[in-house]
Amino acid sequence: MTTSLTLELTELPADAVEVGRIADAWGVKGWFKVMPHSASPEALFSSKRWYLQPSERGAKTFQGTVLLKIRQAKDHSDTIVAWADGVDDRNAAEALRGARVFVPRSSFPSTGSDEYYWVDLIGLAVVNREGVALGQVRELLSTGPQTVLVLSYEQDGKTQERMIPFVSAFVDKVELAEKRITVDWQPDY
């Protein structure tokens, strides 16, 4: 049995954030498994419009950016399963394997007070209470009990790395509009 996958070519939104990858087909009716990049994948549930790009490696069943209109998405074990318009059987779902899933940042659910999406913290400048620049947030790591900011900075012409726990004991304030995080931390820690 063969099927044709019908996908709508589109442009990737300017505020698109990669939130997961399609792992495989799930069942026979066109459902597919998604491996989210976050332990809290609310963005996948909040958006009914997912943008897909083919995997960087392996076979490509489509080119460019395509729009996937999500009929339903739900938790299943440690993954998410979803069903979309135009994906009506297992073969169509398998054709999506490896695709990168993007969602517009504007469709993410609102955060509470003192809650931040990691994607919003990447690239922010980090300064200490004295105004000394400590670096720029390159990534965040989840170490189990806490999250750690991984900063990049230049010293003697070489790129260095600094880690600061993202906890209230060390983080004084996050100012997204100013693209700055103020911390109680010294350069020689």
| pLDDT exceeds cutoff 80 at 16 | yes
Q: What is the pLDDT of residue 123?
A: 94
For the chain, first and last CA: distance in Å? 62
Q: Structural domains in the chain? A: 8-107 (2.40.30.60), 118-183 (2.30.30.240)
Average pLDDT for 66-92 = 93
